[in-house]
């Protein structure tokens, strides 16, 4: 499998550091009191490029304050925040495209009631990763959180993933802030990793993976996964299995089962991934030769990836919606 390297954040020697703040507000007037000056600050600075990604209900009221704003500067968050790793890539592409100007973003994450706790934690991890991935870009991000509707757990994630908090126009350091590596490790520790006894199993014994691709493709079709989702799953499983054959310890095998609305496929081997870290495959590598490039690509292809690396082996679990 071949893929282009992800865009690398531009270096910014001697420039201001990343500003990543959670904006806690209650109601539209409170939102506008802070959001309007923030956007205006960016529009008036020739060295910055303004991007506004907020919930649809707040988009038009805010846009009315800035008739002079460039076309495309205002985007509905519901259409932008669809997949955590793809959203991270989109912001990377944006930062690269606007260089040498720095991005000044009012960026409101989307939190959906129908998400499982695991999906919600993955989006919280995305917010944490912003601190790692964009640390050298000079970007300024103000992330709105509506305290009148969001659960306390989401607000706690905001405090843990943003170094600074803004409320009632006051900027304070977040005492709950957790560095990205530590936060990501906490997310991994909170997950469950059961394997149902009714899962199907295919041993992978050779480097010709045609049988594996056919096996996954047939079962994806049987369980209602079709089109691009099925193709992406087959490609992702092929990439992980090929990596396990190159670097893992036999036996290598694939398990597949359904879990509610998801189809789950797991590749495992008996090797121990010694240099695996909580950020592996989340922070985009600079080139296709860097460690973690394959896993970064796999995360882009499927809905959710979990990795467990222990003394009993290394297991990469991929999920797609049915």
What are the pLDDT digits (tens) for 228-246? Answer: 999 999 999 999 999 999 9
User: Is the per-residue pLDDT at 9 higher than 90?
Assistant: no
User: Is the per-residue pLDDT at 150 higher than 60?
Assistant: yes
**Residue 186: CA count within 13 A, CB half-sphere:** 14
1 — pLDDT class (breaks 50, 70, 90): very low
SS3 (DSSP) at 285: coil
Q: How far is CA 122 from the centre of its chain?
A: 7
Cβ contact 285:92 at 8 Å: no
SS3 (DSSP) at 20: strand
What pLDDT does residue 166 have? 97
3-state helix/strand/coil string of 29-58: HHHHHHHHHHHHHHHCCCCEEEEEEECHHH
For the chain, the residue count is 322
Residue range 298-315: average pLDDT? Answer: 93
Return the closest-CA partner of residue 72 out of 49, 41, 100: 49
What pLDDT does residue 274 have? 78
User: In angstroms, rounded to a whole number, what is the distance separating the alpha carbons of residues 140 and 18?
Assistant: 6
Exposed, middle or buried, 227 (CB in 10 Å: 0-12/13-18/19+)?
A: exposed
Cβ contact 213:207 at 8 Å: no
- Domains in the chain with CATH codes: 19-189 (3.40.50.300), 200-321 (3.30.565.10)
SS3 (DSSP) at 306: strand
**Tens-place pLDDT, residues 96-147:** 999 999 999 999 999 999 998 999 999 999 999 999 999 889 999 999 999 9
User: In angstroms, rounded to a whole number, what is the distance separating the alpha carbons of residues 105 and 49?
Assistant: 8
- Helix and strand counts by DSSP (H, E) for the chain: 10, 12
Exposed, middle or buried, 155 (CB in 10 Å: 0-12/13-18/19+)?
A: middle
User: In angstroms, rounded to a whole number, what is the distance separating the alpha carbons of residues 320 and 54?
Assistant: 27
User: Is the per-residue pLDDT at 290 higher than 60?
Assistant: no
286 — pLDDT class (breaks 50, 70, 90): low
Tell me if the pTM is above 0.85. yes
For every residue of 165-228, DSSP letters joined together read EEETTEEEE-TT---HHHHHHHHHHH------TT-EEEEE-SS--HHHHHHHHHHHHHTT--HH
For every residue of 211-238, DSSP letters joined together read HHHHHHHHHHHHTT--HHHHHHHHHHHH
Orientation angle between helical segments 210-222 and 227-247, nearest 10 degrees: 140
**Tens-place pLDDT, residues 163-176:** 999 999 899 999 99
């Amino acid at each position: 499998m071949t893929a282009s390297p992800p865009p690398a954040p531009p270096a910014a020697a001697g420039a201001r550091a990343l500003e990543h703040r959670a904006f806690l507000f209650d109601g539209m007037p409170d939102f506008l009191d802070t959001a309007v000056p923030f956007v205006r600050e960016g529009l008036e600075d020739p060295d910055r490029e303004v991007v506004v990604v907020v919930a649809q209900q707040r988009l038009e009221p805010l846009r009315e304050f800035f008739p002079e704003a460039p076309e495309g500067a205002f985007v509905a968050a519901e259409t932008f925040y669809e997949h955590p790793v793809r959203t991270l890539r989109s912001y990377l592409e944006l930062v690269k495209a606007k260089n040498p100007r720095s991005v000044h973003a009012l960026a409101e994450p989307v939190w959906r009631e129908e998400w499982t706790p695991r999906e919600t934690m993955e989006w919280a991890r995305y917010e944490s990763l912003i601190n790692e991935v964009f640390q050298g870009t000079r970007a300024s991000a103000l992330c709105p959180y509506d305290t009148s509707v969001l659960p306390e757990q989401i607000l706690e994630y905001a405090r843990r993933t943003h170094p600074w908090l803004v409320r009632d126009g006051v900027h304070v350091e977040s005492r709950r802030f957790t560095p990205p590596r530590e936060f990501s490790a906490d997310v991994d520790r909170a997950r469950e990793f059961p394997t149902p006894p009714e899962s199907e199993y295919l041993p992978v014994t050779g480097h010709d993976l045609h049988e594996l691709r056919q096996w996954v493709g047939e079962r994806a079709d049987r369980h209602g996964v079709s089109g691009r989702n099925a193709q992406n799953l087959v490609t992702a499983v092929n990439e992980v299995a090929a990596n396990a054959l190159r670097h893992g310890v036999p036996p290598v095998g694939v398990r597949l089962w359904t879990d509610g609305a998801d189809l789950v496929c797991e590749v495992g081997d008996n090797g121990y991934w010694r240099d695996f870290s909580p950020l592996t495959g989340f922070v985009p590598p600079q080139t296709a030769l860097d460690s973690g490039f394959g896993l970064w690509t796999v995360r882009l292809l499927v809905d959710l990836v979990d990795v467990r690396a222990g003394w009993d082996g290394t297991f990469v679990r991929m999920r797609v919606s049915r």
